Chain A
């Protein structure tokens, strides 16, 4: 029974199905339990949370990564699977303590002041959650002061800043300066991303990392957190 549910969770991660209303890669899955329903069932059956995460979610996501590398899966497939893992991790969060499973780290993410574009930030959020990080999304058009306050309160390992416009990217530097002014710059690593920014720009404004795309952002953050 345990094995079956874990297998089904893994399979539904691969199918990218969050709830039973979702389509998968294969046809005819709508109406059948998906990742969230299966995790709920697994919790009711008191299946080891560590096993749900390691054998179901993580292994499923790892197979999705292999399919992406092989050209069998595309970005929408990766995002669907990551979304399913993220939803499951949110359900499992209250059970993590004492389960022997730790989050890969806490991340705060925001689109900077003056910028309403959040597609890139949302994609990175989904991918980070799918990779096992705890992500708090502050939203878009966030003032440097609000970001500083959130860093003080949440104490994340990573702060992710996103901007799409050349006119708003300067607020990334403003935010980093605000962290310095508040005396908490060294408590958090700052990673930036978005169409107008680059590795060079990240260095220029004193960020710790630059994610060229969603997947690269995950790699950079894993490298900065040593996870």
Chain B
């Protein structure tokens, strides 16, 4: 059993010639100037593979230039599995990612420092004191363990949210580098039975984390069959650099065969060329270099092609997610991942604005719709992100869930079959001999079987737009629902065997 993603007819922005051109450019980049690597172990691995490695003689941290031949890259791309299973505490929630199948799953993303709470307040008109209006009011809070748990609980209760990529940074006073990993994964796994993905803060915590997830999955073998977690490794610092500590983490995670995402997030206009050819060729080279490392360490390591190409806002050089180039770059990357036969972790659904509303909906929907249509296997950033990924807002996530359920309908493949033609001819015959000439009777079956879409869930019947108010009410209702926690006996075992877990988190 697995969750049902939306299978799309993929929209291709690049033609075959353009894909080949990007590929050739990436291969040229990997040869010259190559990758600047700050990690000695990776350098040795690449040397053994046949890459040309040159030490850079200069002040500062030791570093090497890796000139990687195309054959090394393509062999690695060939050994990366085309199909990757991302397991789940409830196996019915597992995700089956297949590079050969444009079936999209939707996930959260980023590790936001801010959590945006929303309330409803009543305001009185200055012109007419008898006139009152209810409006949403927002306040920003710091991300913490309680809010990460709430986000995971929200994920558990929203149907379109397929995978939980931890979306809140836990900044509590008792959280530190030495205990952050086990606690963030534990909180997430203890509040959602869907797949959990996060980064690794401290390599020293990796084995504690692995032991903990083995216990939750039912043992090491069970974890291999049902990998309930995966790890994102941002080993690449654009442009074209392997960072020392994240590269080390990547090597160790790959050794353990845990599914991982090789993600790169260059910013067009600052850390990558701003034109499409440039940023796409660069990010493609960066991701392929990272994927190559995982396969050289442990052939067959399940890995996702993690593309997060952005564009700089020219007024402040922050990321800008509302611009169309963000979508274009991401679609190109989805096509490149498909070209190499590696499942794609793509990005879409963020807004630059700080609060939910019109700008937020417009910006995120452009990218969510078109990138979904491109057919990535795993679309992250899709829930609740505002302020350029700095803020997670649960109300926005509830809105995103509603919108993504519509997008799933929109993007689904047509169902025109011989059976449907026969059915329609039968309807025509009946309706055209009736006095009313109405097809309403036949709409009932389509309605019951879910073949047609429901109406927008936050629609107002009055001359007002109550979308935000209704989304706030729904969010509040979901937060009141009971949590789907791990059983007490297993929790005791986890706490007994996992150093660093905070006692105060034991009960949820």
Query: Residues on A close to B: CB < 8 A?
Result: 16, 21-23, 25, 74-77, 79-80, 83, 118-119, 122-123, 125-126, 137
Contacts and interface: CB of A to CB of B under 8 A. Distances in A.
A38 to B, nearest CB: 18
A16 B443 CA distance: 12
30 contacts: A16-B441, A16-B444, A22-B441, A23-B445, A25-B444, A74-B444, A74-B447, A75-B440, A76-B440, A76-B441, A76-B443, A76-B444, A76-B447, A77-B444, A79-B438, A79-B440, A79-B441, A80-B440, A80-B444, A83-B436, A118-B437, A119-B438, A122-B435, A122-B436, A122-B437, A122-B438, A123-B436, A123-B440, A125-B436, A137-B435
A80 B436 contact: no
Contacts of B441: 16, 22, 76, 79-80, 83
B448 interface: yes
A16 B448 CA distance: 14
Given A21-B430, A22-B441, 13 more contacts: A25-B444, A74-B447, A75-B440, A76-B441, A77-B444, A79-B438, A80-B440, A80-B444, A119-B438, A122-B436, A123-B436, A125-B436, A126-B436
The 7 closest A-B pairs by CB, nearest first: A76-B440, A122-B436, A76-B443, A76-B444, A80-B441, A79-B440, A77-B444
Dominant SS among interface residues on chain B: helix
Interface in B412-464: 430, 435-438, 440-441, 443-445, 447-448
A219 to B, nearest CB: 17
Nearest to A118: B437
Contacts of B445: 23
B439 to A, nearest CB: 9
B328 to A, nearest CB: 40
Nearest to B454: A74
Contacts of A25: 444, 448
Chain B contact patch, size range = 10 to 19
A123 B444 contact: no
Contacts of A80: 440-441, 444
A123 B435 CA distance: 11
A198 to B, nearest CB: 14
Contacts of A118: 437
Nearest to A24: B444
A74 B435 CA distance: 22
Contacts of A122: 435-438
A71 B435 CA distance: 28
Contacts of B440: 75-76, 79-80, 123
A37 to B, nearest CB: 16
Contacts of A23: 444-445
A38 B440 CA distance: 23
Contacts of B436: 83, 122-123, 125-126
Contacts of B430: 21
A126 B436 CA distance: 8
Contacts of A16: 441, 444
A187 B18 CA distance: 77
Contacts of A126: 436, 438
Contacts of A22: 441
B438 A123 contact: yes
Contacts of A21: 430
Contacts of B437: 118, 122
A75 B447 CA distance: 11
A36 to B, nearest CB: 13
A29 to B, nearest CB: 12
A74 B452 CA distance: 13
A16 B445 CA distance: 12
Nearest to B446: A76
Nearest to B447: A74
A87 to B, nearest CB: 10
Contacts of B435: 122, 137
Contacts of A125: 436
Contacts of B448: 25
A83 B438 CA distance: 11
A148 B61 CA distance: 98
A47 B447 CA distance: 36
Contacts of A137: 435
A118 B447 CA distance: 24
A80 to B, nearest CB: 5
A66 B444 CA distance: 18
